[in-house]
Amino acid sequence: MDILTNKTNGILTITFNRPDKKNAITAAMYQIIADTLKDAESDAEVRVILITGTQEIFTAGNDLDDFLQNPPQSVESPVYQFIQALIHTTKPVVAAVAGPAVGIGTTLLLHCDLVYAAENARFSMPFAKLGLCPEFSSSLVLPQIAGYQRAAEKLMLGEAFSAQEACAMGFVNKVLPTAELLAFAQDQADKLVALPASSLRVTKHLMKSKQTAAIEAQIEEESILFGEMLVSKEAKEAFNAFFEKRKPDFTKFT
């Protein structure tokens, strides 16, 4: 299974499990996660959600072959369902990130409640490099968390950055030795399980509710622009260069 799910002692663990493809996410994988999150919302046994990958990689982001063959075109698309399910879950969401977290592998973390990273974690949002624009409201949320200049550097240049820098930016809570990451994240999830679910639910609501409408509006605007840019000459050049393993040439475009 490319997505593993496990429900134990109040914790629902969702694991990216496609190591041969660097945990790249397909439409089918997004659908599984979306459905799992929706089911968890009404499951009284689930008190905390933990999202993780392997010790080597969190996720390489979208599977480009699958993404180009099945581009998201409506609110019914699996990736949109996943985004909506994550931003609207009322239960605490903990992420444990080891290895590369690319594209949506980084932007999804901006909507988690607690994020822990291994020393080998590397984050990147290479949308501009692919002739695209940010998604998952990262163009709104990242500047709020990290400040405009830091966000601009990460979103415009699209270069990878370390777990320590992500922690300094404010969207990673703590950096740990890789071998200790998952156990620590599970311990933090256990602490949340032991707390009153209603208190956590109200606390999360108070912190996030005023921002929800702005996030949804930003996601909608990003999605429209993303769809337009996906069929642009710049994106075509970027994707061709990726598959041909060469450096793209954007100098012919204005």
C-alpha dihedral sign at 13, 18, 22, 24? negative
Task: Give me the tens of pLDDT residue by residue for the chain, a chain 254 residues long.
Answer: 999 999 999 999 999 999 999 999 999 999 999 999 999 999 999 999 999 999 999 999 999 999 888 888 778 899 999 999 999 999 999 999 999 999 999 999 999 999 999 999 999 999 999 999 999 999 999 999 999 999 999 999 999 999 999 999 999 999 999 999 999 999 999 999 999 999 999 999 999 999 999 999 999 999 999 999 999 999 999 999 988 999 999 998 98
* Cβ density class 151-183: b for 16+ within 10 Å, e for less: beebbeebebbbbebbbebebbbebbebeebbe
Give φ, ψ of 122 to 5 degrees: -135, 130
pTM of the model: 0.96
Q: What local confidence, expressed as pLDDT, does residue 74 receive?
A: 76
Q: What local confidence, expressed as pLDDT, does residue 69 receive?
A: 87
Cβ count near 207 (within 10 Å) = 10
Q: What local confidence, expressed as pLDDT, does residue 76 receive?
A: 86
50 DSSP β-pair partners: 13, 94
Q: What local confidence, expressed as pLDDT, does residue 75 receive?
A: 80
Q: What local confidence, expressed as pLDDT, does residue 1 receive?
A: 92
Cα–Cα nearest to 174, from 155, 187, 159, 160: 187
Q: Quick check: 72 and 117 in contact, CB under 8 A?
A: no
> pLDDT for 70-79, tens place per residue?
888 778 899 9
> pLDDT for 145-164, tens place per residue?
999 999 999 999 999 999 99
d(CA 50, CA 109): 11
Q: What local confidence, expressed as pLDDT, does residue 240 receive?
A: 93
Q: What local confidence, expressed as pLDDT, does residue 228 receive?
A: 94
Q: Where in the chain are the domains?
A: 3-178
* Angle of helix 27-41 versus helix 78-88 axis, rounded to 10: 30
Q: What is the CATH T-level fold of the domain 3-178, as seen in this structure?
A: 2-enoyl-CoA Hydratase; Chain A, domain 1 (3.90.226)
